[in-house]
Amino acid sequence: MEHQITAMVAQLTLEEKVGQLVQPELAELTAEDIREYRIGSALNGAGIWPHGRRHATVRDWVDLVDHFWTAAEQTWQGRPFRIPFMWATDAVHGHNNVHGATVFPHNIGLGAAGDPDLIRRIGAATAREVAATGMDWIFAPTVTNPRDRRWGRYYEGYGEDPALGHAYGRAMVEGLQGDVAALRTDHRVLATLKHWIADGGTADGRDRGTAHCSEQVLRDIHAQGFLAGIRAGAQSVMVSFSSWEDPANYDHTPGGGEPYNHKVHGSRYLITDVLKDALGFDGIVISDWDAHAEVSRCSAGDAGYAINAGLDVLMVAGREAWQSVHRTTVAQVRAGVIAQERIDDAVSRVLRVKLRAGLWDKPRPAERSLTRPGAPVVIGSPDHRALAREATRKSLVLLKHTPGLLPLPRGGRVLVTGSAADDLGKQCGGWTLTWQGDDLDRTDLPGGSTVADAVRAVVGADGCTVDPAPALGGPEEYDVAIVCIGEDAYAEMRGTVRPWRSIGYADLKQSYARDLELLRRLRAAGVPTVTVLFTGRPLYCTEEVNLSDAFVVAWLPGPYAQGVTDVLFAAEDGAPAHDFQGRLPSCWPRTRDASAVNALPAHLPDYRVPKEETPPEGGRAPLFPLGHGLSLHDPAPPGGPLPLHTPAAAPPAPRVSGPLRVLDAQGTPYRLRVGGHNTWSREDVGLDKPMDCLIVHAAPFPTPDHGTALRLRFKGNPAFVYAESPSGLPADLRGYLERGAHLRFAVRVLQQPSAPLHLACHDDFPAQPGVDLTARLRAAGPTDWTTVSVPLAELAAVGTDLLHVDVPFMLYTDGTAELEVADVAWQLV
């Protein structure tokens, strides 16, 4: 194999070599691009489907992959060799970007199941479904060790215990790839261990943040899943967006310009010295989505410093950016900035992985054993959905139980209530058909069942009442209430809780607080209550536990809620059908601020808690420890209700005396930005030139009466335009509320919004409601300026936290609109 690789590398031009190292995104790539640039692989990002069709069929996917594969084959006609094309996708809990595919529980729930063989079977099932769409490579498993519950990707890890990550990293790679022979078949796919390294160990749980831990913690906590996965034969490792600040993380080209900013994507120490040399990893090291651009001395179109650090394949989304990376890399090699040997090493790794995957021997994507006409149906097969149901059942953790309550009888009168009772989005979480997974409906998940659906199937429609906000009478009205509560769906960036926020469930959002109030009402009415919590992370919910007769953590189980009712309800003969076997993969917080309390690792006798974490002692000791979970036969714990945590009272509101400037004739003291649909790296909006991206076009212009204005065109995808504190820190602006202030701005409407357009004052998780401006904007036209004035009391009433304001102005919509905005300020009345 190495002789084959050497021979091919010797015959490739520099441009062809670089083409093998650039991985564009489906929406920014054509077949002609593949032929011109000799592109070696491509990916589809979350929420990007063939021809933009959300419900694209399996055949649509196969035909698309086959189309690009054929273009690559044409590239090598007339040459003495060929290099097959690879397609990659984010299949992180099943083939989750494909309509109709089996969706498995997210990793945090699988961690609770504590069953490596289950993980191995899920990996094999996922591989079959990915292979059935003609794809070769997936970006899974995530083997991070999440250490701070505020992190928006917490659920992508199996739990805080490095031993669990070690066992599961090996098992999932074995399931996805199989052994050396199995990987060469068309039933398996290439696995990717991610994200190298310590993305779960950043200070304050910041996404793309900085880890300050020692190298010992880096190795003994954060590397364990990678070590096991590499031993199992993983052929790809994806690098983390995060940074590691440590003297060992050196600048590999000192004096070359802006100092190295410790981003792992630029770390020659972690990528080359450790991963490649010390660990002997000889597969592909791939970047995350446009992540090279966050390394100092790199940009969206220049990845030279990151390539020299050891990156082999560059995931670059935008068309202009990936073409620039290709041109710049070729030029830097010719100028000696990037050594030819570094490029040869990178392309050799790509060829090695393609050879190990048997791509030269596999038929074209449309003619493989799981894709050709007449092939067995694999996507969403009954066997795979039964496996997902089994995984759901095994992942449930029972935190509280009143002996004799569970399992519930299959007869009787059952109330199913709470914000998550009939909500597939809360069950599935992010990375489900779309990136954030927050806009799902039943048509997106064929065959899916909510808890309400699953309970009806058990007790019958006559015995089941589904009402998210019931009017309660006495205890005789219902035999039991199943109260389903849970977080709204989220993924990276949008799911991180800010450092100043509580991790109390009811503190996070008004709709969550209504779940707590519902539990109080049920307790007052005397109705026995079983609470089921859907969450991507442990949250403070002690009062919710106290108010429940049984409390079950279901994590993010996916769309097959029958796995929940399998355990909640008895079998036909009245005996337990299944017992609870899930155990906490992470400590459960005792207080609202215990976001980074983790168990002391038993395998490290000299372990010292890093400064990013809180020692698990005293008032911060876990409420429920790592590994906790009850069975149906366990006796009730002694003692009364669990102790509640009372938060400190807020200080008096600071006095205010004048307006708060946001945008006016003097410019803005804030950072103007755009985020939203598929905009993974948020875009800055300057006041000196236009900005255009997938979701918004923004152009500044002067006005005689209002100073600088912004013309904003929303293009029809979820998008938000906002003013952010440059420091990222919030300000206490409650004084404006006390003074009766309004948020005012001037507007001209060139195109009325096609969907509600909201005003908000946050950039926070979970997304708090805004004030719908649609009616106010109807009176505004394209010629004269109209003043929009919204009382802060109106924003406060929908849940805006004025104690912590880092974004004093935001407009967001899912539709199209074009408007001009100027003279934005908080004005005292």
Q: How far is CA 244 from CA 218, 248, 249, in A?
A: 9, 9, 7
799 pLDDT higher than 90: no
End-to-end CA distance of the chain: 76
pLDDT at position 679? 53
347/7 Cα distance (integer angstroms):
12
Could you tell me where the DSSP H helices lie in 419-500?
Answer: 424-428, 451-459
Kindly list the strands in the beta sheet with 41-44, ordered across the sheet, starting from the edge strand earlier in the chain: 41-44, 86-89, 137-138
Please report which confidence band the pLDDT of residue 46 belongs to, taking 50, 70 and 90 as the band edges: confident
Give residue-wise pLDDT tens across range 291-338: 999 999 999 999 999 999 999 999 998 899 999 999 999 999 999 999
273 pLDDT higher than 60: yes
pLDDT at position 255? 86
699/820 Cα distance (integer angstroms):
9
Residues, the chain: 829
680 pLDDT higher than 60: no
Range from 349-353, 439-443, 639-643, 680-684 carrying the lowest mean pLDDT: 680-684
pLDDT at position 25? 94
Q: Which of the following is catalytic: 492, 593, 613, 823?
A: 492
- The reply to whether 288 belongs to the active site is yes
Q: Which of the following is catalytic: 156, 160, 174, 288?
A: 288
Give residue-wise pLDDT tens across range 699-735: 999 999 899 999 999 999 888 999 999 888 899 999 9
Q: Exposure pattern of 352-376 as b/e (b: 16+ CB <10 Å)?
A: bbbbbbbbeebebbbebebbeeeee
Q: Is the peptide bond before 742 cis (omega within 30 degrees of 0)?
A: no
The average pLDDT across 192-220 equals 95
Sign of torsion, CA 204 205 209 213? positive
Burial class (CB within 10 angstroms; exposed 0-12, middle 13-18, buried 19+) of 666: exposed
Please report which confidence band the pLDDT of residue 678 belongs to, taking 50, 70 and 90 as the band edges: low
State phi, psi for 2 to the nearest 5 degrees.
-65, -35
602/621 Cα distance (integer angstroms):
16
Q: How far, in whole angstroms, is CA 808 from its chain's centroid?
A: 26
Residue 770 has, within 13 A of its CA and on its CB side, a CA count of: 23
747/787 Cα distance (integer angstroms):
6
99/80 Cα distance (integer angstroms):
40
pLDDT at position 657? 92
pLDDT at position 47? 86
Residue 346: which of 283, 278, 300 has the closest Cα? 283
Q: What percent of the chain shows pLDDT beyond 90? A: 88
Could you tell me where the DSSP H helices lie in 547-690?
Answer: 562-568
Give residue-wise pLDDT tens across range 220-229: 999 999 999 9
Q: What percent of the chain shows pLDDT beyond 70? A: 99
pLDDT at position 763? 65
Please report which confidence band the pLDDT of residue 765 belongs to, taking 50, 70 and 90 as the band edges: low
- The reply to whether 302 belongs to the active site is no
389/689 Cα distance (integer angstroms):
53
Dig out the tokens for 38 from the structure: 């000799």
- To the nearest 5 percent, what fractions of the chain are helix, strand and coil? 30, 20, 50
Give residue-wise pLDDT tens across range 211-244: 999 999 999 999 999 999 999 999 999 999 999 9
**What does pLDDT average to over the chain?**
95
Give residue-wise pLDDT tens across range 131-187: 999 999 999 999 999 999 999 999 999 999 999 999 999 999 999 999 999 999 999
180/138 Cα distance (integer angstroms):
17
Q: How far is CA 53 from CA 98, 244, 446, in A?
A: 10, 40, 16
DSSP label at residue 273: I
Element housing 480 (H / E): strand 480-486
189 pLDDT higher than 90: yes
Dig out the tokens for 263 from the structure: 């981003």
Dig out the tokens for 335 from the structure: 């100028």
Please report which confidence band the pLDDT of residue 476 belongs to, taking 50, 70 and 90 as the band edges: confident
467/452 Cα distance (integer angstroms):
9
77/588 Cα distance (integer angstroms):
59
Residue type, 37: Y
Please report which confidence band the pLDDT of residue 362 belongs to, taking 50, 70 and 90 as the band edges: very high
Q: Are 260 and 184 in contact (CB under 8 A)?
A: no
348/223 Cα distance (integer angstroms):
25
Helix (H, G, I), strand (E, B) or coil at 751: strand
DSSP label at residue 601: P
Helix (H, G, I), strand (E, B) or coil at 700: strand
